């Protein structure tokens, strides 16, 4: 079984539910900071965009947004919001080198197996212009571990690669310079995870 296909199927099955749920408000500060840094008219790519809430928010604030996701159901909802959206794998982005001023990746990189993540980061770096920004938000854990999340309520159950703060920083730093890194655990959740927010620059 292809884990990428399972992931796409899981999100296809829940696309309508995610559309109703909206986007977490706590990510808005990071989004607003990115808009301020980029300015109107900048080219932004969102990978793993889900149903397109962040992309739509960015577009409403003057960025030229391109949206990708593995899930055709998610992309259909992105297009319904008027977004330029394509079904695409983060490891094989259908764009020329240095196409974007920034890349936004919220809650998607932790679905990439450890063996594949370096190539995905290489691909993100490839499509980002020098001096461009990369923002990534991932669920992490005190100790790195990966596999199918057996308590997942999605079907098929999703693959997660939870990385420690040290491990994810080391991976990012091989391709980007970290401008800011924050680890948050102030969420009312029944899982022992925390959220890693990183803003980086492509040099």
What pLDDT, on the 0 to 100 scale, is given for residue 22?
Answer: 80
How many whole angstroms separate alpha carbon 103 and alpha carbon 43? 9
Entry pTM: 0.96
Of the chain, the end-to-end C-alpha distance in Å amounts to 37
Count: domains in the chain: 1
pLDDT per residue rounded down to tens, the chain (203 residues): 577 899 999 999 999 989 898 888 888 999 999 999 999 999 999 999 999 999 999 999 999 999 999 999 999 999 999 999 999 999 999 999 999 999 999 999 999 999 999 999 999 999 999 999 999 999 999 999 999 999 999 999 999 999 999 999 999 999 999 999 999 988 766 778 999 999 999 99
What is the structure's pLDDT at 194? 94
Phi, then psi, of 84 in degrees rounded to 5: -80, 110
The closest alpha carbon to 182, from 163, 165, 196, belongs to 196
Q: In which residue are the tokens 């607003």 written?
A: 32
Residue with tokens 């809650």: 107
Q: What is the pLDDT of residue 44?
A: 98
* The pLDDT value given to residue 25: 83
Torsion of CA 192, 109, 30, 97, to 10 degrees: 170
Tell me how many helices (H) and strands (E) the chain has.
7, 9
CATH of the domain at 76: 3.40.50.150
Domain region containing 92 = 3-201
Distance CA 84, CA 43 (A): 12
């Amino acid at each position: 079984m292809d884990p990428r296909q399972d992931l796409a199927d899981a999100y296809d099955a829940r696309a309508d539910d995610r559309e109703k749920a909206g986007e977490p408000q706590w990510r808005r500060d990071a989004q607003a900071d990115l808009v301020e840094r980029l300015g109107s008219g900048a080219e932004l790519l969102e990978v793993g965009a889900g149903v397109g809430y962040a992309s739509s928010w960015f577009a409403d604030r003057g960025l030229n947004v391109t949206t990708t996701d593995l899930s055709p159901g998610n992309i259909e909802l992105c297009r319904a919001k008027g977004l330029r959206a394509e079904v695409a794998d983060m490891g094989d982005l259908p764009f020329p080198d240095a196409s974007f001023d920034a890349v936004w990746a919220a809650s998607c990189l932790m679905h990439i197996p450890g063996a594949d993540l370096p190539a995905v980061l290489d691909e993100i770096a490839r499509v980002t212009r020098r001096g461009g920004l990369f923002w990534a938000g991932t669920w992490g854990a005190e100790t790195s571990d990966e596999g199918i999340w057996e308590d997942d309520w999605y079907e098929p159950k999703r693959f997660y690669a939870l990385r420690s703060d040290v491990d994810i920083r080391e991976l990012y730093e091989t391709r980007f310079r970290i401008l800011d890194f924050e680890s948050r655990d102030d969420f009312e959740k029944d899982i022992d995870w925390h959220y890693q927010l990183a803003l980086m620059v492509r040099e």
